[in-house]
């Protein structure tokens, strides 16, 4: 990457409004449909959980309520202190009084609370699109039954009949329709039914014990209470991802947009892509994404990255998270970054973007008008009269920074003793996803220490409540605060900070102390941003917030309030649709190259009296390897080439960027095989032993100048080296640091193109981890034209390549107009430069005649090796070099069978 700075970052508060984003979506859809791009008007969302919890009102079998089942999540422990004046919501969603459950004859469902911003964003899209929500049902409870420990009894998912499953889906659809706004489009729910053991191995195992810590810069052994294995739950993780992919294939319609949400389903994009290669797939990662040096510790790192790269668009909360992901793809997998910042995997390009999630500001504003809030707010004012109130609300999770916050508060009382007796910290901690007795004990001991050191009979500095609270009490706490302090060590999105800003709009306009390690910190620049590890800095920020003038408070609050109200969860949801539609409109996704049709290939092969086979070598007949000398042909490749070249009807050429020595060493023993080396600089005709040099009559004095430039960059790029050939010169950086090598490559390319190439007859080519300079008159396309010129009677052409230099071959074989009919007029070929150059003095003044070609449009099989979305001039594609060889072996075998039949 050329720079680590965030590109085109908008000024705070200048984000597009919801109306603007929706107008853009509508405009893009109109443009796409006008171009013939199919759009269904539907969006499929894949979420780990469905937005409803389910309970079966009567068990389908006479099942004992004490039948063993997977353990339920333990309820939060009751507090050892009197009820707090407040009670926190979950991390991702404010809690509320439970609504009445929706009941049918067999089922009872209630809204599931968690990930409110995501669900709100998805729901808001119903205003413009039909929605399909795919998710796990969660544990099925047995309604009205409880075990001896008063824990709800679970019904095994495998025991739920097909009839009951259909009834649940119907009930959820009715509830979604009942909660829709007037004019909204349909939302349907599609449950993914999982075996209980697999489901919990996926979520409680791999997700929470491996991925969650890793994405928050912790390794699995750092949070485990016993021996931890990063691979212990890999099988259920992969199985659940496969189940989600199958469900998408089941409900998909051409033209659907697909959005996969969060780290629970990182393998799903590739699995969907394998079944639906033309689908438009987006992946949004709600958590942070760690540095490549942390991510590379994961044993299944390549599988995870490849799974994510199945998406057309991968979106993160911040630019830094997207840069970490890009760096991981480059450093861990060796993938390349294209000029637009996308990741290129065998021609399939995944675009990388970022878009932070917001809260549903309208819903929060309505909730702040609830009548139960004001009495509780007044009670808090009376209770802490004469004291400044600092508020913190976090999950009791090691990454939430509760310990660091308490230590910073202790530092405040130590460094600013004037606050002793005049400020209180109300810290609410809700139970975390994984119980941590050690952390709970550490927090309790630290609270006791601070209260013992700085408290008195009439003053308790820290009020800690480890429990869940109601929505009214939560908003009352946010509204009464003189300062909000949120100090996670690493966090994706934190709704509390935005809800704090909205709650403060009607009260004190109090400032906010915010960790810089949060996904939303780049947006909320008017908060007092701190490093939670720097206790002195946090203490100073708290002191500044408590002593801030009313004018500064108001100015900061107004800017934060505008940001929170503009970039809402609704805007985020519409932005996802807009970004994926933009991706569909790009050239990469608008045209998909079909897989080569074997029957059509066979038919044309057998009917032709003369055939041309033109192969690139690296990436086409042999896979790309880190050490070029290791790219040797397999026995199957040698067999295919030998058999093809032995057929008198065939003319077979290898057209490679390799030098002649390499080609002769590995392929020179094959009789009848023609070879072209150095991207068309040299040619050895079939049956000959001498090479012809196309550059003999060209000015090659530029090579010394290019060599000096390449030496300059080689000295400054560890691991790079120069390859000097007879007709070209190449700088390789495959063994250097991938990001630094790419940066140096682009700098060198810029220097060559803007200085030397303007004065000399050369062209600069960017290849796979290399930069090549060659004469402008020499390329693979010229060689193809030469071969075709001397074989005008060929009735079948197969040309395969994988690289940018191979596009010259494909371009030279565009012999017919794009809209020409299969029975179009015969093509005519003028004498190419590759013919006249070799003629030398003998050819001076000679009139080279045009030649009419026998080839038909449908008999030209230009084939790109790579993904179907690869930008190419080729008509067909195969995925791997092995498929090229397999097709050739198949043609040879079919040819031998035909020959055998004709001899009988």
Q: What is the pLDDT of residues 113-142, one digit of tens each?
A: 777 888 889 989 999 999 999 999 999 888
Separation between Cα atoms, residue 530 and residue 524, nearest integer Å: 12
Give SS3 for 444: helix
Separation between Cα atoms, residue 54 and residue 749, nearest integer Å: 60
DSSP annotation of 679 reads: G
Backbone angles phi, psi at 789, to 5 degrees: -65, -40
Backbone angles phi, psi at 853, to 5 degrees: -95, 145
Tokens of 354: 């970022």
Q: Are 249 and 275 in contact (CB under 8 A)?
A: yes
Tokens of 188: 């349907």
Q: Are 333 and 305 in contact (CB under 8 A)?
A: yes
Q: Range with the lowest mean pLDDT among 77-91, 195-209, 680-694?
A: 77-91
pLDDT band at 528 (very low <50, low <70, confident <90, very high): very high
The whole-number pLDDT of residue 503 equals 94
Give SS3 for 55: strand
DSSP annotation of 181 reads: P
Separation between Cα atoms, residue 810 and residue 794, nearest integer Å: 17
Separation between Cα atoms, residue 755 and residue 481, nearest integer Å: 62
Using a pLDDT cut of 90, give the percent of the chain over it.
Answer: 53
Separation between Cα atoms, residue 892 and residue 899, nearest integer Å: 10
Q: Are 884 and 601 in contact (CB under 8 A)?
A: no
Q: Where are the alpha helices (DSSP H) in 384-529?
A: 402-415, 437-454, 471-480, 495-504
The whole-number pLDDT of residue 745 equals 92
The whole-number pLDDT of residue 93 equals 35
Contacts for 545-552: CB closer than 8 Å, 24+ residues apart? 545/482, 545/483, 545/510, 545/511, 545/512, 545/513, 546/388, 546/390, 546/419, 546/423, 546/482, 546/483, 548/511, 550/509, 552/511
Separation between Cα atoms, residue 173 and residue 282, nearest integer Å: 24
Task: Enumerate helices (H) and strands (E) in the chain, giving the number of each.
Answer: 30, 34
Helix axes 535-547, 402-415, angle to 10 degrees: 70
The whole-angstrom distance between residue 114's C-alpha and the CA centroid of its chain comes to 23
Q: Are 247 and 192 in contact (CB under 8 A)?
A: yes
Q: Are 532 and 406 in contact (CB under 8 A)?
A: no
Residue-by-residue DSSP string for 200-265: HIIIIIIIIIIIHHHHTT--HHHH-SS---TTTTHHHHHHHHHHHHHHHHHH--TT-EEEEESGGG
Which of 360, 397, 491, 616 is flagged as catalytic? 616
In this predicted model, what pLDDT tens digit does every residue of 723-768 receive, in sequence order?
A: 998 888 999 998 888 889 989 999 999 999 998 888 888 889 888 8
Neighbours of 122 (CB within 10 A): 23
Separation between Cα atoms, residue 80 and residue 66, nearest integer Å: 30
Residue 82 has pLDDT above 50, yes or no: no
Give SS3 for 802: coil
Residue 226 has pLDDT above 60, yes or no: no
DSSP annotation of 336 reads: E
The total number of residues written for the chain in this structure: 904
Give SS3 for 847: coil
Tokens of 865: 């090796």
Residue 657 has pLDDT above 90, yes or no: no
Separation between Cα atoms, residue 648 and residue 643, nearest integer Å: 10
Separation between Cα atoms, residue 672 and residue 685, nearest integer Å: 9
Query: Among the ranges 31-35, 280-284, 724-728, which has the highest mean pLDDT value?
Result: 280-284
In this predicted model, what pLDDT tens digit does every residue of 378-424 receive, in sequence order?
A: 999 999 999 999 999 988 888 899 999 999 999 999 999 999 999 99
Residue-by-residue DSSP string for 587-618: HHHH--PPBP-HHHHHHHHHH-SSEEEEE-SB
Separation between Cα atoms, residue 502 and residue 555, nearest integer Å: 15
The whole-number pLDDT of residue 25 equals 93
The whole-number pLDDT of residue 824 equals 58
Neighbours of 295 (CB within 10 A): 22
The whole-number pLDDT of residue 522 equals 83
Q: 551, 568, 427, 548: which is closest to 502 by C-alpha?
A: 568
Contacts for 824-828: CB closer than 8 Å, 24+ residues apart? 824/857, 826/852, 826/853, 826/854, 827/852, 827/853, 827/855, 828/852, 828/853
Residue 184 has pLDDT above 50, yes or no: yes
Q: Are 542 and 408 in contact (CB under 8 A)?
A: yes
> What is the mean predicted confidence (pLDDT) over 445-452?
95
In angstroms, the first-to-last Cα distance of the chain is 64
Separation between Cα atoms, residue 376 and residue 215, nearest integer Å: 38
pLDDT band at 63 (very low <50, low <70, confident <90, very high): very low
Separation between Cα atoms, residue 144 and residue 110, nearest integer Å: 14
Neighbours of 27 (CB within 10 A): 12
DSSP-assigned beta bridge partners for residue 722:
731
State the chain's maximal CA–CA distance in angstroms.
111
Question: Phi-psi region for residue 115, left (φ > 0), alpha (ψ -120 to 50) or beta?
Answer: left
DSSP annotation of 680 reads: G
Tokens of 673: 């095989």
Q: 54, 169, 32, 137: which is closest to 103 by C-alpha?
A: 54
Separation between Cα atoms, residue 370 and residue 855, nearest integer Å: 78
Tokens of 468: 């869940």
Separation between Cα atoms, residue 664 and residue 21, nearest integer Å: 59
| Vertex 270 angle, CA 264 and 271, to 5° | 80
DSSP annotation of 753 reads: I
Q: Are 592 and 550 in contact (CB under 8 A)?
A: no
The whole-number pLDDT of residue 72 equals 44
Q: What is the mean pLDDT of the chain?
A: 85
What residues contact residue 700 under an 8 Å CB cut-off, 6+ apart? Answer: 727, 775
Residues 220-253 as b/e (b if ≥16 CB within 10 A, e otherwise) read beebeeeeeebeebbebbbbbbebbbebbeeebe
Separation between Cα atoms, residue 527 and residue 72, nearest integer Å: 40
The whole-number pLDDT of residue 816 equals 84
Residues 348-382 as b/e (b if ≥16 CB within 10 A, e otherwise) read bbbbbbbbbbbbbbebbeebbeeeebeebbeebee
Q: Is 616 annotated in the active site?
A: yes
- The pTM score is 0.79
Tokens of 569: 């969860």
The whole-number pLDDT of residue 147 equals 52
Residue 495 has pLDDT above 70, yes or no: yes
pLDDT band at 95 (very low <50, low <70, confident <90, very high): very low
Specify burial of residue 637 (Cβ count, 10 A radius: 0-12, 13-18, 19+): buried
Q: Range with the lowest mean pLDDT among 337-346, 725-734, 794-803?
A: 337-346
The whole-number pLDDT of residue 79 equals 36
Q: Are 449 and 414 in contact (CB under 8 A)?
A: no
> What is the mean predicted confidence (pLDDT) over 786-807?
92
Separation between Cα atoms, residue 215 and residue 38, nearest integer Å: 37
């Amino acid at each position: 990457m050329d720079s680590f700075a965030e590109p085109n970052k908008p000024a705070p508060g200048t984000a597009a409004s919801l109306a603007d984003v929706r107008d853009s979506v509508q405009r893009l859809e109109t443009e796409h449909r006008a171009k013939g791009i199919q759009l269904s008007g539907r969006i499929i969302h894949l979420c780990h959980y469905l937005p409803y919890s389910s309970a079966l009102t009567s068990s389908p079998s006479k099942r004992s309520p004490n039948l063993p089942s997977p353990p339920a999540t333990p309820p939060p422990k009751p507090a050892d202190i009197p009820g707090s004046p407040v009670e926190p919501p979950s991390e991702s969603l404010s809690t509320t009084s439970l609504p009445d459950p929706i009941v049918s004859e067999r089922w009872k469902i209630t809204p599931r609370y968690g990930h409110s911003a995501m669900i709100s964003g998805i729901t808001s899209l119903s205003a413009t699109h039909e929605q399909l929500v795919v998710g796990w049902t969660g544990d099925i409870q047995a309604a009205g039954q409880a075990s001896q420990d008063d824990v709800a009894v679970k019904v095994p998912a495998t025991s739920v009949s097909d009839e009951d499953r259909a009834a649940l889906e119907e009930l959820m659809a009715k509830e979604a329709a009942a909660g829709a706004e007037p004019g909204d489009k349909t939302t349907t729910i599609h449950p993914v039914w999982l075996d209980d053991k697999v489901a919990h191995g996926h979520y409680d195992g791999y997700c929470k014990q491996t991925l969650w810590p890793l994405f928050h810069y912790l390794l699995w052994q750092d949070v485990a209470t016993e021996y931890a294995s990063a691979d212990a739950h890999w099988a259920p993780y992969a199985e659940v991802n496969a189940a989600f992919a199958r469900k998408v294939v089941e409900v998909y319609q051409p033209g659907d947009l697909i959005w996969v949400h969060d780290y629970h389903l990182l393998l799903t994009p590739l699995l969907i892509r394998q079944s639906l290669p033309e689908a438009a797939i987006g992946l949004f990662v709600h958590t942070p994404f760690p540095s490549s040096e942390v991510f590379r510790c994961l044993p299944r790192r390549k599988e995870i990255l490849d799974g994510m790269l199945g998406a057309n668009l991968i979106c993160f909360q911040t630019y830094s998270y997207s840069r970490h992901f890009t760096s991981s793809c480059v450093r861990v997998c060796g993938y390349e970054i294209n000029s637009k910042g996308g990741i290129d995997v065998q021609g399939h390009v995944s675009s990388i973007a970022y878009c932070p999630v917001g809260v549903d500001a309208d819903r929060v504003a309505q909730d702040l008008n609830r009548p139960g809030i004001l009495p509780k707010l007044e009670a808090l004012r009376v209770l802490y009269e004469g004291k400044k109130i600092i508020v913190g609300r976090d999950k009791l999770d090691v990454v939430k920074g509760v310990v660091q916050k308490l230590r910073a508060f202790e530092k405040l009382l130590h460094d600013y003793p004037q606050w002793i007796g005049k400020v209180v910290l109300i810290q609410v901690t809700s139970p975390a996803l994984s119980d941590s007795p050690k952390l709970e004990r550490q927090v309790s001991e630290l609270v006791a220490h601070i209260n013992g050191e700085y408290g008195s009979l009439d003053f308790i500095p820290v009020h800690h409540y480890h429990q869940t609270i109601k929505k009214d009490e939560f908003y009352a706490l946010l509204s009464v605060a003189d300062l909000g302090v949120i100090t996670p060590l690493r966090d994706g999105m934190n709704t509390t900070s935005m809800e704090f800003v909205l709650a403060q709009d009607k009260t004190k306009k109090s400032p906010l102390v915010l960790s810089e390690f949060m996904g939303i910190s780049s947006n909320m620049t008017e908060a007092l941003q701190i490093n939670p590890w720097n206790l002195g800095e946090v203490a100073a920020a708290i002191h500044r917030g408590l002593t801030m003038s009313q004018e500064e408070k108001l100015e900061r609050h107004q800017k934060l309030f505008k940001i929170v109200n503009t970039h809402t969860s609704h805007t985020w949801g519409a932005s996802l649709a807009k970004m994926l539609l933009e991706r569909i409109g790009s050239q990469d996704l608008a045209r998909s190259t079909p897989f080569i049709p074997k029957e059509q290939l066979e038919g044309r092969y057998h009917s032709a009296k003369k055939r041309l086979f033109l192969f690139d070598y690296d990436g086409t007949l042999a896979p790309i390897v880190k050490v070029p000398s290791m790219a040797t042909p397999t026995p199957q490749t040698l067999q295919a080439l030998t058999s093809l070249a032995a057929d008198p009807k065939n003319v077979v050429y290898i057209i490679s960027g390799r030098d002649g020595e390499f080609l002769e060493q590995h392929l020179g023993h094959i009789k009848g095989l023609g070879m072209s080396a150095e991207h068309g600089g040299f040619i050895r005709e079939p049956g000959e032993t001498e090479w012809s040099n196309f550059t003999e009559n060209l000015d090659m004095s530029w090579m010394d100048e290019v060599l000096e430039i390449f030496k300059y960059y080689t000295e400054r790029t560890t691991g790079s080296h120069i390859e000097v050939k007879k007709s070209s010169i190449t700088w390789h950086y495959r063994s250097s640091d991938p990001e630094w090598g790419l940066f140096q490559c682009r700098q060198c390319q810029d220097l060559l193109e803007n200085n030397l190439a303007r004065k000399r007859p050369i062209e600069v080519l960017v290849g796979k981890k290399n930069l090549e300079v060659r004469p402008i008159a020499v390329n693979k396309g010229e060689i193809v034209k030469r071969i075709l010129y001397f074989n005008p009677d060929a009735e079948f052409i197969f040309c395969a390549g994988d690289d940018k230099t191979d596009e010259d071959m494909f371009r030279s074989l565009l012999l017919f107009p794009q809209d020409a009919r299969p029975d179009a007029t015969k093509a005519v070929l003028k004498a190419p430069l590759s013919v006249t150059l070799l003629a030398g003095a003998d050819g001076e003044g000679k009139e080279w005649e045009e030649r009419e070609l026998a080839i038909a449009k449908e008999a030209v099989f230009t084939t790109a090796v790579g993904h179907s979305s690869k930008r190419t001039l080729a008509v067909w594609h195969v995925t791997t070099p092995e498929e090229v060889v397999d097709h050739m072996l198949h043609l040879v075998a079919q040819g031998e069978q035909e020959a055998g039949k004709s001899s009988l």
